[in-house]
Structure 1
Amino acid sequence: MKKFLFILLAFTGIGASAQTGAVRGRVVDNITEQPLEGATIIFAADSAVTATTNANGDYRLGNLPVGRVTLRVRYMGYETIILPGIDVVSGKDVPADVRMAESYNSLDEVVLTAGPAKDKARNKLAAVSARQVSVEEITKYAGGRSDVARLATNFAGVSAPDDSRNDIVVRGNSPTGLLWRIEGIPVPNPNHFASLGTTGSPVSALNANMMANSDFITSAFPAEYGNALGGVFDIAFRKGNSDNYEYTLAAGAFSGAEAMAEGPMGKEGSFLVNGRYGLAGTVGAGGTSAQPNYADFSFNIDFGKTKVGSFSLFGIAAHSYIDFRGNDVDEDDLFAAKDENMDVVSQFGVIGLTHSAAINDFSSLKTSIGGSFSGNTVEQERIFNYGTPQANPLPYADVDNNEVRFTLSSVYNAKFSNRFTLRGGVMLEQYGLRAKLSSRERQADNDGDGYQDFVNLIDTDEDYTVFQPYAQGQFRLAESLVLNAGLHAQYFSLNEAFVAEPRASLTWNMAPSHSVTFGYGLHHQNVPAPLLFLNQNVNGSLVQTNRDLDLVRSNHYVMGYDFRPGNGWRTKLEVYYQDISNAAVEANSSSYSSLTEGADFGFSIDKFGLVSNGTGHNMGLELTVEKFLSNGWYGLATGSLFEAKYEGSDGIERDSPFNNGYVFNILGGKEFKVGSGRNVIFADSRLSTAGGRHYTPVDLASSQAAGYEILQDDKAFSQQYDAYFRMDLKFGMKLNSRRKKVSHQFYIDLQNVTNNENVFVREYNRLTNRVDQVDQIGFFPDFGYKIQF
């Protein structure tokens, strides 16, 4: 302890010289995204410290003391923006982009916003069930593993009581209902160890240090979003520093070892690049005895403003692989078994070029072209008659999936007045899917060799198109009343389905601290590809009997009340109902529905000849109480009470596997200044509890006779795992150099400090010949270090 205190004092120092930092960013109109030249950025504690934006809307405000600062942004005819709690460090300029809204009456004095608007989406047409996600939130809260998907599980309406994956379950919907977008381009699963049709996995390929503030939307999305039922995660990349070269080195048990560089490029451009390599397997944090290997590279290049507009190029390349060997598997391994050997490889990539240009004083056009790739291969070997002299290793599963997308997106923004704005555009996605799946799972022994047949289940080489035009307007009917209304359309070439989807929301600001919102949206999404292209043996021929399934349909209804009880506080209450139809179910009477898929690495492989007659509904009540950082402390409490039900072709209403019933989260933290005040010690905590996931009980006698798991389908999801509980504690320190442009950060994140045994799965174990329970990862200490210079 004495040595620790000595080191602490040595870092904090007692000198009187003060180190300073800077904040930089870009100020734009929140609708047209055109730069606002001449906007003034003011240090709230000293109005003499100011900066003014240039013709590109760029600014840099220097000579700021390290630590938390508040800035004001002013521009004639626009509402003043307050940026509270910006964490200024000595090691790098802090990015802070600003989107400003024009005042309702341009003759009025500028109106100050009542505290931070972090609870509002960057997309000003997203008025209900939406909020911004900041980079600091991703890295700040305990237990988050610097994973943006895991951060979302702290928000009201989201549940994920599974520490082994980062699937996002929004209001009882399957994780497959989530839409991921990066810089406006829809992408497949942006995670390591991802598989076709899923949206989550154990490890994210999105690097928080690359991100700008982004949007997370859980209901009644604006008209520009389509082909999703449950939610939207709209990820934005930040620009690199256009004034100075800066570097970051970091390492963490879950986030991995990484290096980042950024700086000016050309006259007005910048670059930002980051490479990362995973360390989870090295430190034993993977939930398996096998060694997970993963790496990713991300970049964002801003070419600056030219005579024909602004261009930027962005991308991610991610690779991961893991080799399971049965001889090395422990009994509590989450992903492997002693009688199996398996090699798994996955890749994810996206690259996009964006062009933005002003058409005239009130409108702009933003066009993006991009390509994305997602692939995974699995080679699985099963040792039949394991542990006996007759042991016989045979191929058990072979997977080879490659999905390529080419995307064109063009968005027109126009602000005809401060009371009426319009956004319209088109999204064209061309898919190329090359997928193969062969397996012995659940197959008969037709050739009489004593083993299940190795059957081809998916073998497709398919090209198809998703086309989505849309238009949406914002009407400020009065200073306190705002209407957003629009129409989204979607064409799916595989079944030639065309649908039109109205969207609308109404916001009434009853008083400066009180507002009410109403929202409605009709949404459609295609059934996941692993079900659409599943082969059925019909009279000796392989036929894709599911490929013509209808788009699943969902009506969203939501009402919310937002109250700010004091400066820096926010309370929000929302109630919602979601009516789902056209889900895929079996033609004969059964409990199956496609609404139950998507929370694992694979999909059902024995569901053929499906029809679009399934239904479901989700309803719930959500509460958010948030204390934005001030006076050194912050907090977030969210609670959700909900119901998620579905009906298969047997007409019986059942619990969805995602019907946890309730989710409660309490998060909070405190920062303490030490030394001369430029350094900070911080503590953060998180407590989460949720109802257990519903599951289908095993038919033990039938499983023992067959040698593989057989479930009691007539009792689908009739049982529920024990309630989930987890508590995390995080401690760390931020150190700012007195004389050099260097900053350090250390932390230790004690995850599941109570070592609670949360259930991972109860399933038939073919080796023990009984139903066994496997628990999730217990107590684990995460750690990290970062240096910026």
Structure 2
Amino acid sequence: MKAVSRFLPSVVFFLLIGFSSFSQPKGSLKGRVYDLKNNQGIPFANVQVYSSALGTATDTKGYFEIDSISPGYIRLEISCVGYKTILSEEYMVNTAFKREVEIGLEELPVSLEQVTVKASPYRKTAESPLSVQRIGISEIEKNPGGNRDISKVLQSMPGVLSSPAFRNDFIVRGGGPSENRFYLDDVELPTLNHFATQGASGGVVSIINVDFVKEVNFYAGAFPASRGNLLSSLLDFQQTTGNPDRVKVRATLGATDYGLSLDGPLTPTTTFLLSARRSYLKMLFSFIGLPFLPVYNDFQFKTATRFNQKNEFILLGIGGYDINRLNKKINHPDDNQEYILGWLPESRQWSYTLGAVYKQYGNSWQNLWVISRSELKNKVEKYSFNDKKLPKLVDYNSGEAENKFRFEHKRQISSHFRLTAGVGIEYATYRNSTFRVLYYQNQSQNIDYNRRLNLWKWSFFGQVVKTFGEEKFTLSFGLRGDATHYAASTQNIFRQISPRLSLSYALHPKWFLHFNTGRYYQLPSYTTMGYADEQGELINKRHKLRYIGSNHYVAGIEFRPTPLTRITVEGFYKTYDHYPVSLLDSVCLANKGTDYVAVGDEPVKPVGEGRSYGIECMLRTQEFYGIIASAAYTFYYSEFKKLDHNLRSLSTYIPSNWDNRHIFTLTASRKFKQNWDVGLKWRYVGKAPYTPWDIEMTSSIPAWDAKRQPYYDFSRFNSERLPAFHQLDMRVDKSFFFRKWSLILYADIQNIYHYKSQGPPLLVPEKDKQGNYIKNPDREGYYQMRYIKNEIGGTILPSVGIIIDF
């Protein structure tokens, strides 16, 4: 409550200034409507502001302009003879500048040209007719509790598990946090978050600046063949392009960072986007008494050049630099603060991705060339008792770099048949210099190795789409192959052939049946492939490490009672095979990945088998008495086969770390008069499984001194469950639009009713008044232990933000 009382004056000030009223100027929007098949402008298309009388028609080259639009988020409805009518993604109309947009239309088959097709923002593709959610910019900008962080916004999607801790781990349909892939304007983005966990997808804050995001397509299955090396989800980010008329500036002060974004023209044919951000999490975390003090910085840029309607070139880049230090100045730290200070290391991390995309259009075909380079460097240190005069417990210095090329060719054979085909090649390097103290087999051991790994990877893919009977029935079949020269077990591309099939049938103009099945492969992380012994031998290569395989079976029904309302129910069943299993603790790596620093740098064997299955229900509507709402519920199981002492699979399944069973999220927002917006989000996550502590090992003096954390009793793996977690978040926005600039103020409060999520009680040694560990007088070589509370999250987090456009 102390944080709330300090925050209250800001809220009062924020509310008081909102009651001012003034004459509000209007905004304008211009853009181009083009044919998705060949990028040609479409003349005489009707462009209308949805639910408004404002509209116009495109000129002979497909360009249009609409003036006198009330500021705020709008959609455009675009229709033209011979094309499917669509509702566009949302655009922010601002008085500070004229918004520029581009909208592609899909050609109608000749047999449907006389049919009236109702527009809907919930579009799907034939390749992925189900398990796909399209997220607009207003959902990202104004998501309660999201703080303009795309990773947190995505936790509202069906099948996505959220966490009460300060992390952005991405866990989809019971899969592990390393099973996801991310793309930014067709360029693969290996690192999505600041303070990323190397070998997985999690972190603390998203590295992507949402100022430049146009829309996000989230796939929980039915992956297109052009996207590989994933098992659970795909995130496809599309960025805006710069303003061609003048330079625009946006200054932001958010809950965790401040930044500056610019976009505008560079030449008559080239526009740019550019942003830089820096966090003040160090100050925030110090204020609320957290024992770690992170600082992150990032940059993002994009240039887009249109030589003509047939040729386009994009150059983009994104990167971050992160530092985490321990808060050693806490006066009289409590038990939890002292515990975290004891085990958490200090770290430095930087990453970047640079990419170039060239698009070429013909009359009925498109070519896409993509070249990119990504790099991640990770430096982690931990000293005994945080004293640099004492020996190190951890000294981890790792780096990985990827150079990628991909070519795609798309061709419209006829109005009912299209083809996609392509190839890819990658060259990756990985290096790791590691020293750490490990307690294993009842003795302390020093892990000390230095290894460099070079990899060539190659792939091919193809996909065909065929529609039948006035597009009532759609079939898509794709095939993909991946290989790498890492080992004999990975270099035969025919062992990693990945077929996929999607079927969609329109029962009625408002009812649809969908089905998808596929076989997907993913290469283990570089941390696992590059693990070596002191002589530099790749241990896991010797253990015949190979691609992880997963079979997906998904079926669903979709109901669209109105163009702005969509209801879906999907059932899914996934199996896993050849998952790496740790030789240190016999735990499948699918159960790891939410730790800090890195995951997978340990000896393994590819013997893990698992499954995940359940049902998802999703309601999204934008017309419920002026309320934009979504409700998502998932009931599922996530399990892996139990292993015997020789790591042979038994018939018994045990819960994975992600087997929470129930996930429910309800999000609602409403726009009020005088540009007020209010949103609420309530989350419920079922009981998480956990493994009890091994009291005997934890109390051992050399064991505790090596790790400063309790050890799990893996003979009782995930045999207990924590209480369920739930949280209510709220956000209030007030927008002011002036003639040459605009101002947006917002207040965001996470965990309004102060729910404290409980973790398993922590087992730690007793201390005397001088802070020294107390030895057990009855057992030589052991500490005297006690339990302390383990509250995960539970803090009310109020914040305010300011956004200025000019």
TM-score by length of 1: 0.90
Residue identity in the other structure for 1:570: R
Instruction: Map residues 219-298 of structure 1 onto 2, 5 A cutoff.
Output: 219-254=221-256, 256-284=257-285, 288-298=290-300
**Secondary structure, aligned partner of 2:152:** helix
Matched, 1:703 2:714: no
The one-letter code of the counterpart of 1:344 is S
State the superposition RMSD in angstroms.
Answer: 2.8
Q: Is the 8 A contact 2:525 2:600 kept in 1?
A: no
Question: Cα deviations across residues 463-509 of structure 1 (Å, max 9, x unaligned)?
Answer: 11222211111111122111111111111221224211111111111
The correspondence of residues 568-717 of structure 1 with structure 2, limited to 5 A, is 568-585=564-581, 591-602=586-597, 607-608=602-603, 610-628=604-622, 632-650=626-644, 651=650, 652-674=652-674, 680-705=675-700, 706-707=703-704, 708=707, 709-717=710-718
2:804 counterpart residue number: 787
Alignment of 1:66-85 (within 5 A): 66-67=71-72, 69-83=74-88
How do 1:196-595 residues align onto structure 2 when only pairs under 5 Å count? Answer: 196-254=198-256, 256-284=257-285, 288-306=290-308, 309-326=311-328, 328=330, 330-331=333-334, 337-339=340-342, 342-358=345-361, 360-383=362-385, 393-442=390-439, 452-456=444-448, 458-479=449-470, 480-495=472-487, 496-498=491-493, 499-536=496-533, 541-547=535-541, 548-585=544-581, 591-595=586-590
Q: Distance in 1 between matches of 2:527 and 2:127?
A: 34
Distance 1:124 1:382, change over 3 A: farther
Cα pair 2:291 2:341 within 8 Å, conserved: no
- Letter matched to residue 409 of structure 1: R
Residues 510-559 of structure 1: CA deviation (Å, up to 9, x unaligned): 1111111000111011122222222346xxx4532212311111000000
Q: Structure 2 counterpart of 1:551, which letter?
A: Y
Cα 1:383–1:65 change in 2 (3 A) is closer
CA distance in 1, matches of 2:335, 2:466: 57
* Corresponding residue of 1:89: 94
Gaps of 5+ in 1: 447-451, 675-679
Cα 1:265–1:290 shift into 2, 3 Å? same
Give the drift of 1:309: 1.7
CA offset digits 1:701-758 (Å, max 9, x no partner): 2210232533211111111221111111111211112xx1322111111100111111
CA positional deviation for 1:348: 1.4
Whether the 8 Å contact between 1:727 and 1:754 is mirrored in structure 2 is: yes
**Residues 401 and 475 (structure 1), Cα distance of their counterparts in 2 relative to 1, 3 Å cut:** same
Tell me the distance in 2 between the aligned counterparts of 1:332 and 1:132: 44
Once residues 735 and 462 of structure 1 are traced to their aligned partners in structure 2, the CA distance between those partners, rounded to angstroms, is 55
Deviation, structure 1 residue 54:
6.8
Range that drifts further, 725-734 or 97-106: 97-106
Does the CA-based 8 Å contact 1:265-1:303 persist in structure 2? no
The answer to whether the 8 A contact 1:585-1:594 is kept is yes
* Of 330-339 and 461-470, the range deviating more from structure 2: 330-339
d(CA) in 2 for partners of 1:407 and 1:420? 30
Greater alpha carbon shift after TM alignment, 216-225 vs 288-297? 288-297
Q: CA deviation at 1:147?
A: 1.4
Higher mean displacement: 94-103 or 180-189: 94-103
Distance 1:466 1:667 in 2: 42
C-alpha distance in structure 2 between counterparts of 1:286 and 1:416, whole Å: 61
Query: Is the 8 Å Cα contact of residues 698 and 771 (structure 1) preserved in structure 2?
Result: no
Paired residue secondary structure (1:491):
strand
Secondary structure (helix, strand or coil) at the match of 1:204 reads: coil
Q: Is the 8 A contact 2:38 2:363 kept in 1?
A: no
Deviation at 1:87, TM superposition (A): 4.4
* 2-structure distance, mates of 1:3, 1:327: 33
Deviation at 1:770, TM superposition (A): 3.2
Which amino acid in the other structure matches residue 489 of structure 1?
A: G
Query: What is the CA-CA distance between 1:397 and the residue it aligns to?
Result: 0.4
State the partner residue of 2:750. 751
Change (3 A) 1:403 1:36: farther
Q: Distance in 1 between matches of 2:152 and 2:338?
A: 20
Deviations 1:78-113 (A, max 9, x none): 011124865433233445442322112267236333
Q: 1:641 to 1:788 in 2, by over 3 A?
A: same
Alpha-carbon distance, 1:382 to partner: 1.3
User: Is this contact kept in 2: 1:197–1:598, CA < 8 A?
Assistant: yes
**Counterpart code for 2:358:** H
Q: 2:18 touches 2:734 (CA, 8 Å); kept in 1?
A: no
| Code of the aligned partner of 2:658 | F
Report the secondary structure of 1:303's partner residue.
strand
TM-score scaled by length of structure 2: 0.88
Deviations 1:30-60 (A, max 9, x none): 45556545544233566563152674x5544
Alpha-carbon distance change, 207 to 311 in structure 1, aligned in 2, over 3 angstroms? same
Query: What is the aligned partner in structure 2 of residue 764 from structure 1?
Result: 763
1: distance between equivalents of 2:766 and 2:201? 31
d(CA) in 1 for partners of 2:58 and 2:313? 23
For 2:337 and 2:605, the matched residues in 1 are separated by 34
Name the amino acid aligned to 2:202: G
Tell me by how many angstroms 1:299 deviates.
0.7
Identity percentage over the alignment? 21
Letter in 2 for 1:194: A
Residue pair 1:286, 1:292 contacting (<8 A) in 2 also: no
Question: Residue 109 of structure 1 corresponds to which residue in structure 2?
Answer: 114
- Alpha-carbon distance in structure 1 between the residues aligned to 2:15 and 2:798: 22
Q: 1:209 to 1:492 in 2, by over 3 A?
A: same
C-alpha separation between the residues in 1 aligned to 2:30 and 2:766?
60
Cα distance in 2 for residues equivalent to 1:746 and 1:582? 51
Deviation at 1:564, TM superposition (A): 1.5
Quote the offset at 1:638 in angstroms. Answer: 0.5
Return the letter of the residue paired with 1:310. E
Q: Find the aligned partners of 1:170 and 1:744 in 2 and give their Cα distance.
A: 36
The question of whether the paired residues in 2 share the 8 Å contact of 1:575 and 1:621 is answered with yes
Over 3 Å counting, the alpha-carbon distance change for 1:604 and 1:104 in structure 2 is closer
The aligned counterpart of 1:449 is none
Equivalent-residue separation in structure 2 for 1:5 and 1:205 (angstroms)? 31
Task: For residue 183 of structure 1, report the CA deviation from its aligned partner.
Answer: 1.9
2:48 counterpart of 1:49: no
Give the gaps of 5 or more residues in structure 2.
1-10, 645-649, 768-784
The alpha-carbon deviation at position 326 of structure 1 amounts to 4.2
Larger displacement relative to structure 2 (516-525 or 102-111): 102-111
Kindly state the Cα deviation for residue 127 of structure 1 after the two structures are TM-superposed. Answer: 1.6
Pairwise CA distance, 1:316: 0.6
Q: Residues of 2 paired with 1:487 and 1:213: CA distance?
A: 27
Matched, 1:64 2:69: yes
Deviation of 1:574 after TM superposition, in Å, equals 0.3
- In the alignment, the residues of structure 1 paired with residue 633 and residue 14 of structure 2 have an alpha-carbon distance, to the nearest angstrom, of 39
Distance 1:37 1:317, change over 3 A: farther
Aligned partners of 1:175 and 1:598 also within 8 Å: yes
| Alignment check: 8 A CA contact 1:238 1:300 kept | no
The corresponding residue for 1:742 is 741
Q: CA deviation at 1:649?
A: 2.9
* Counterpart Cα distance in 2 of 1:605 and 1:271: 39
